[in-house]
Amino acid sequence: MANPTDAHLHAAHKVLRYLKGAPGQGLLFSSSSSLHLEAYCDSDWASCPDTRRSISGYCIFLGSSLISWKSKKQSVVSKSSAKAEYRSMTVTCTELTWLKYILSTLHVQHFQLVLLHCDN
């Protein structure tokens, strides 16, 4: 916001075009839904046979509504499954921190953060 560029304007226009084209889309929050962020994350160690890089993924719920998810190949090769899992948790915590900031900016109070790690 302090130093916007043409790239920022282009991204804002892209979001507005999407919203204009999909007026019925949105998030449905039940009035009885709790306000807690619940995150699940996992990684698949060295799953790419060509690069031996791991794939990380997470999904984050606000109450019972899915609000954020991601699955991406990690940028570096992890030498152990534990390092791949830590990288996955780091990406998830980064997203949770951003969502916590957004909720506080919107004056949503009394929410809880829960991070759960999925294991096979």
pLDDT in tens, 16-70: 888 788 777 776 777 777 778 889 988 888 777 788 888 888 999 888 888 888 9
Start-to-end Cα distance in the chain? 42
pLDDT above 60 (res 120): no
pLDDT confidence of residue 59: 92
How far is residue 87's CA from residue 40's CA, in Å, rounded to a whole number? 13
Residue range 76-95: average pLDDT?
86
Share of the chain above pLDDT 90, in %: 6
Sorted by where each begins, the domain ranges of the chain are 32-117
Fold of domain 32-117 = Ubiquitin-like (UB roll) (3.10.20)
Helix (H) or strand (E) holding 101: helix 81-105
How far is residue 91's CA from residue 66's CA, in Å, rounded to a whole number? 17
Residue range 92-114: average pLDDT?
81
